[in-house]
């Protein structure tokens, strides 16, 4: 008994085989396309962090080697915006200003964390809930600036710290353990290093003025 063919000459079995092959090809291509998209977004993040690093250095030169204070809030409406980009950069024209009703000082959103700016931190005086009297500490590995050591210490004194500032993205999974680690952003163990990974993408400056970035 012969199998009936469709009008275009294909049998039902042949059509099912073609559909199965196409499904298999799609299952192989989708992860590759997803990885390529993530790599493109990571490249964009590194480019924007580079621009923010230049803005911070220009600010520092204009302000006698002083950098903006770090802002941390305990209020429920601002808690998620910890260490957001400083309003001083936007007010001075170093970065675009955020919308007046958007709650963001600078119009530079984290590519991986919409609704939030990239993060900024620097050892030294900071603002807690908008008020002074708070010294911001940054964990710095013992082998800084290589940042591979598992041991380190916290710095808050601008005269002794080996790092001037850091700007970073929380990465593809902003709420991951690596992105929220107390050793973020200067420990390589918290860095995003490959596609479909967690961790942060960071750019930082040494006391000598050398600007480096994570992979």
Tell me: the pLDDT tens digits for 184-199? 999 999 999 988 899 9
d(C-alpha 61, C-alpha 191), whole Å: 29
pLDDT tens column, 43-84: 999 999 999 999 999 999 999 999 999 998 877 666 778 899
User: What is the distance in angstroms between the CA of the first residue and the CA of the last residue of the chain?
Assistant: 64
What is the pTM (predicted TM-score) of this model?
0.84
Helix (H) or strand (E) holding 203: strand 201-206
What residues does each domain of the chain span?
34-213
């Amino acid at each position: 008994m012969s199998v009936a063919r469709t009008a275009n000459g294909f049998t039902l079995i042949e059509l099912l085989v073609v559909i199965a092959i196409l499904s298999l090809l799609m299952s192989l291509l989708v992860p590759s396309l997803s990885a390529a998209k993530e790599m493109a977004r990571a490249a964009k993040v590194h480019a924007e962090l580079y621009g923010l690093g230049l803005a911070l250095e220009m600010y520092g030169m204009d302000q006698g080697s002083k950098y903006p204070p770090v802002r941390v809030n305990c209020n429920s409406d601002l808690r998620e915006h910890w260490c957001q980009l400083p309003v001083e950069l936007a007010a001075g024209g170093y970065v675009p200003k955020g919308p007046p009703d958007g709650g963001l000082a600078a119009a530079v959103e984290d590519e991986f964390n919409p609704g939030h700016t990239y993060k900024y931190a620097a050892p030294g005086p900071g603002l807690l809930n908008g008020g002074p009297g708070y010294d911001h500490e940054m964990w710095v590995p013992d082998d800084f600036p290589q940042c591979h050591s598992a041991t380190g210490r916290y710095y808050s004194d601008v005269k002794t710290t080996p790092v001037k500032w850091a700007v970073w993205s929380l990465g593809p999974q902003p709420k991951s353990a690596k992105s929220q680690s107390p050793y973020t952003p200067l420990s390589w163990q918290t860095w995003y290093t490959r596609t479909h990974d967690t961790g942060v993408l960071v750019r930082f400056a040494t006391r000598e003025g050398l600007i480096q970035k994570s992979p």
